[in-house]
Amino acid sequence: MRANATGRVLHDPKGGSFRFDAGAVCLDFAHTGGEGQYAVFETLHEPADLGEWLAQPPLGAFMTVPVTARELSAAKTLRQAIWDAAHAQAARRPLLAETVATINRAAAAAPLIPELVADGTTAGWAPPVRAAQALSTLAREMIELLSGPLSGRIRECASDNCPLVFVDTSRPGARRWCAMERCGNRHKLRALRARQATDP
């Protein structure tokens, strides 16, 4: 997977947007919406929405077979499992058996198959390209993340009211915020106001 250009622009239902890089494509996928209180952030309303998301870089999986409603449902189930697994790992809690089973089930399907395009210097995905293959590829990346050297770098944003989760790929391993332009700057502003309030 060409995962060297992760990150997406997230939109707040109340207005505003910011670029959030979760550090892994599977974690970017986990932030495309959700259930319950996160339903307001849903971006995958129709099968075509899933196809459009998968076609974006770095995955670049252009569907040659239209996404089905069943695949969209499977995608949301996998998304929830990735979200739950990432939060459990960030909190150093054991993963639920159901979460593990969901990720393994998605990974068991045939993944996307890379191929060189005609010029011999760039890569694409061998057709047919189906959503189930892309979901398998995302599930396999999550398995590698959870079982690999970066598993201890999976973190939740340090802000009290931000649930965004990411893998800290920085060299010093000191990333605390979902994005400096969002929670990082808010924290700095609050700290500045607190200092000003206590200054004589």
Tell me the Ramachandran region of residue 150: left when phi exceeds 0, alpha when psi lies from -120 to 50, beta otherwise: alpha
Q: What are phi and psi of 101, to 5 degrees?
A: -65, -40
Give per-residue pLDDT as tens, 111-141. Answer: 999 999 888 888 999 999 999 999 999 999 9
Report which of 56, 83, 86, 54 is spatially closest to residue 71, judged by C-alpha positions: 54
Give per-residue pLDDT as tens, 52-107. Answer: 999 999 999 999 999 999 999 999 999 999 999 999 999 999 999 999 999 999 99
> What is the pLDDT averaged over residues 13-22?
82
Q: Is the pLDDT of residue 198 over 90?
A: no
Positive or negative, the CA dihedral 92, 34, 102, 26 is negative
Q: Model confidence at 49, in pLDDT bands (50, 70, 90)?
A: very high
The pLDDT value recorded for residue 2 is: 45
The pLDDT value recorded for residue 128 is: 96
The pLDDT value recorded for residue 180 is: 74
The pLDDT value recorded for residue 200 is: 57
The pLDDT value recorded for residue 64 is: 97
The pLDDT value recorded for residue 91 is: 96
**Number of alpha helices (DSSP H) and beta strands (DSSP E) in the chain:** 6, 6
**CA angle, 140 then 56 then 49, to 5°:** 90
User: Using N-to-C axis directions, what is the helix angle for 97-108 and 69-90, rounded to 10°?
Assistant: 130
Q: How far is CA 137 from CA 3, 109, 143, 200, in A?
A: 11, 9, 10, 58
